[in-house]
């Protein structure tokens, strides 16, 4: 399945953006109370604000003209009251929307993180970590900025425009039309440019994601870069993505910034129209000075929000481009679905590959029509040349991927019919490069193991002594309390493999897969590890992938994995002959 987020068809993206917007509304639905509250406050505050120019005009025509100072004072008092109420309203709105924005940020980041936990390994193979981090950090923040800062201004701007528009048309419809005509041109201008603005902002976010991926890649490989003196190479690569980001940011900026001056110009033209036509109407005796002053204020109330809307529209476009990138992840479904369990075959082997074919996305066929069985309690070894397909076979046994064709059966039942919990309880997998997270060894080895999650260090040690893991624990100075820092060098690869080994054995699985699990371990420790393997319950099946041949000497059966085929290699000597034969032929 194609999980590549940067390789989706842009047409497909555009056609679904309406649906995505609906999904965003579904997210906002949980905030409906806060949004309704803010909206209510906004309606009152805008209604009050819109009366201000009218009160000013009325004061000029009725009190200023007749030098009625008490009337002027009463009006000034009324205006002060309106301003104070609006001050309180504005503060409450900002506070409420700030919280809505933060809650949205929290919700979106959680939803993204949960989704990432659900997605299969193929997704992580096809996408760069840096780009994913950029989506979780930067793109969600664009949405937060829009909701916490821009949405209120956006909505109150529109309300102010509607109110001012009504006043402008009702006071004098001819003057009203003259004032509003430039706004219609602006609307057309915005409609024409908006798709391009969104596209350029999306391109900019994509290149920010690319830059983040580049930084992540070079920081996580800095030792190799220094060891091979490849600093210049990576500097050039970074320079390329940085330049690309600069170009896309400039291209987006050119369009983002075009609205403000054009909008200002149109509002100035509208003012000019009001002044010219208004003065003409006054001289013809059809209008008063007070009304003209009210009119000028109303046109400001109409055009000022438009100018703000230009900026807010850009923020909206950026938020939407961010939302597109976020919802691309949220919409993904894992293709490793749990299917309904069919009847299990009786007396079935533990693992059975039936006509299995497999290819990675965009790769050639890695396994071609492969069939074999693995029985309970036996030890199997997978041998073969580098890149032959051993890890791939083990990954299919653990259902890290599904076969492209054919079936993998676990205890006679399609492996796809087991829930991830059932499957991981049955199958333990020690990867070539084990994953450890920051915490103590104890936390790392009871990871995902509910049986020992609440055990004290002493209780856990007792369990480990019974299965012979205590000898391995002694390799660490502070035993179970030894601190691990993920991604840090305080621990060797061999030590990491030991911890992963202890973690897998403690889960007491029916099937234990060791993928090069002893490749970085000294011979003495390897013997200790073998002793633990021998002490495993009789029903435990072991699948060992190893290049070091002594590791597989005691296997009950050896499979030779090469060129898409898996062949029973029979005895150890026969397997060695096959390997040697292969080396001679290549």
Which positions lie near ligand ATP, rule CB under 6 A? 125, 360, 363, 366, 384, 386-392
Nearer to ligand ATP, 126 or 411 (CB): 126
Nearer to ligand ATP, 93 or 391 (CB): 391
Nearer to ligand ATP, 27 or 360 (CB): 360
Rg (Cα) of the chain, in Å, rounded? 35
Nearer to ligand ATP, 125 or 456 (CB): 125
What is the Cα–Cα distance from 236 to 252, expressed in whole angstroms? 24
Nearer to ligand ATP, 391 or 540 (CB): 391
Taking the complex as a whole, the smallest distance from the CB of residue 563 to ligand ATP amounts, in Å, to: 10
Alpha helices in 457-571 (DSSP H): 457-466, 470-473, 493-506, 523-535
What is the Cα–Cα distance from 241 to 219, expressed in whole angstroms? 15
- Give how far the C-alpha of residue 188 lies from the chain's centroid of Cα atoms, to the nearest Å: 35
Nearer to ligand ATP, 151 or 367 (CB): 367
Taking the complex as a whole, the smallest distance from the CB of residue 123 to ligand ATP amounts, in Å, to: 11
Nearer to ligand ATP, 101 or 389 (CB): 389
Structure token pair of residue 351? 């693992």
Name the residue with tokens 């919280």: 99
In which order are the strands placed within the sheet that holds 413-414?
365-374, 351-359, 405-410, 413-414
> Cβ of 205: how many Cβ atoms within 10 Å?
25
Nearer to ligand ATP, 329 or 431 (CB): 431
What is the Cα–Cα distance from 374 to 411, expressed in whole angstroms? 10
Structure token pair of residue 27? 């997210």
Taking the complex as a whole, the smallest distance from the CB of residue 220 to ligand ATP amounts, in Å, to: 17
Nearer to ligand ATP, 117 or 386 (CB): 386
What is the Cα–Cα distance from 222 to 227, expressed in whole angstroms? 8
Taking the complex as a whole, the smallest distance from the CB of residue 573 to ligand ATP amounts, in Å, to: 21
What is the Cα–Cα distance from 579 to 147, expressed in whole angstroms? 63
Phi, psi of 380 (to 5 degrees): -115, 145
What is the Cα–Cα distance from 1 to 122, expressed in whole angstroms? 8
Taking the complex as a whole, the smallest distance from the CB of residue 206 to ligand ATP amounts, in Å, to: 23
Contact 505, 391 (CB under 8 A): no
Nearer to ligand ATP, 175 or 397 (CB): 397
Non-local (6+) Cβ contacts of 78 within 8 A are 55
Taking the complex as a whole, the smallest distance from the CB of residue 350 to ligand ATP amounts, in Å, to: 21
What is the Cα–Cα distance from 43 to 425, expressed in whole angstroms? 58
Taking the complex as a whole, the smallest distance from the CB of residue 377 to ligand ATP amounts, in Å, to: 25
Name the residue with tokens 């490989």: 221
Taking the complex as a whole, the smallest distance from the CB of residue 386 to ligand ATP amounts, in Å, to: 4
Taking the complex as a whole, the smallest distance from the CB of residue 418 to ligand ATP amounts, in Å, to: 23
DSSP codes of every residue in 387-428? TSSHHHHHHHHTTSS--SEEEEEETTEEGGGS-HHHHHHHEE
Contact 495, 477 (CB under 8 A): no
Taking the complex as a whole, the smallest distance from the CB of residue 388 to ligand ATP amounts, in Å, to: 4
């Amino acid at each position: 399945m194609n999980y590549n987020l940067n390789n989706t068809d842009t047409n497909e993206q555009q056609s679904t953006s309406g649906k995505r917007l609906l999904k965003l509304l579904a997210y906002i639905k949980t905030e409906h109370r806060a949004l309704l509250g803010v909206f209510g406050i906004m309606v009152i505050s805008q209604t009050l604000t819109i009366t201000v120019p009218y009160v000013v005009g009325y004061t000029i025509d009725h009190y200023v003209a007749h030098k009625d100072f008490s009337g002027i004072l009463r009006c000034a008092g009324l205006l002060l009251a309106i301003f104070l109420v609006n001050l309180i309203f504005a503060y409450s709105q900002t506070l409420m929307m700030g919280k809505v924005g933060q809650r949205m940020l929290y919700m979106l980041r959680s939803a993204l993180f949960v989704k990432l936990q659900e997605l299969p390994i193929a997704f992580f193979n096809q996408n760069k970590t840096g780009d994913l981090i950029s989506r979780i950090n930067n793109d969600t923040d664009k949405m937060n900025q829009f909701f916490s800062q821009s949405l209120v201004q956006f909505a109150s701007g529109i309300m102010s425009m509607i109110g001012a528009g009504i006043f402008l048309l009702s006071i004098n419809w001819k003057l009203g039309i003259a004032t509003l005509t430039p706004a219609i041109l602006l609307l057309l201008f915005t409609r024409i440019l908006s798709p391009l603005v969104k596209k350029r902002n999306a391109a900019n976010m994509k290149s920010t994601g690319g830059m983040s991926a580049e930084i992540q890649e070079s920081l996580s490989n800095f030792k190799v870069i220094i060891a091979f003196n490849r600093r210049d190479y990576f500097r050039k690569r970074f320079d390329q993505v940085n330049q690309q980001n600069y170009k896309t940011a400039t291209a987006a900026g050119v369009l983002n910034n075009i609205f403000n001056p054009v909008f200002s110009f149109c509002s100035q033209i509208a003012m000019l129209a009001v002044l010219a036509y208004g003065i003409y109407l006054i001289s013809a005796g059809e209008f008063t000075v007070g009304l003209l002053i009210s009119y000028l204020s109303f046109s400001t109330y109409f055009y000022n929000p438009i100018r703000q809307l230009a900026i807010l529209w850009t923020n909206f476009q950026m938020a939407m481009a961010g939302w597109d990138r976020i919802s691309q992840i949220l919409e993904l479904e894992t293709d490793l679905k749990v299917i309904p369990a069919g009847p299990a075959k009786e007396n079935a082997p533990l693992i059975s590959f039936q006509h299995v074919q497999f290819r990675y996305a965009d790769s050639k066929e890695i396994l071609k029509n492969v069939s074999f069985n693995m029985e309970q309690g036996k030890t199997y070894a997978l041998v073969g040349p580098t890149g032959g397909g051993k890890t791939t076979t083990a990954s299919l046994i653990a259902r890290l991927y599904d076969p492209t064709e054919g079936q993998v059966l676990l205890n006679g039942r399609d492996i796809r019919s087991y829930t991830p919990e059932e499957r991981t309880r049955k199958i333990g997998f020690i990867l070539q490069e084990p994953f450890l997270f920051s915490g103590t060894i104890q936390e790392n080895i009871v990871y995902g193991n509910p049986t020992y999650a609440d055990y004290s260090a002493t209780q856990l040690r007792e369990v480990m002594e019974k299965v012979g893991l205590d000898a391995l624990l002694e390799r660490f100075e502070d035993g179970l309390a030894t601190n691990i820092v993920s991604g840090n060098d305080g621990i060797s690869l061999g030590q990491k493999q030991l911890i992963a080994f202890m973690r897998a054995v403690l889960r007491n699985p029916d099937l234990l897969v060791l993928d090069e699990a002893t490749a970085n371990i000294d011979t003495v420790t390897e013997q200790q590890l073998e002793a633990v393997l021998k002490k495993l319950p009789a029903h435990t099946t072991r699948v060992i992938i190893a290049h070091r041949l002594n590791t597989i000497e005691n296997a009950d059966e050896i499979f030779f994995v090469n060129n898409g085929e898996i062949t029973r290699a029979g005895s150890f000597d026969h397997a060695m002959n096959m390997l040697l034969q292969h080396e001679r032929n290549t």
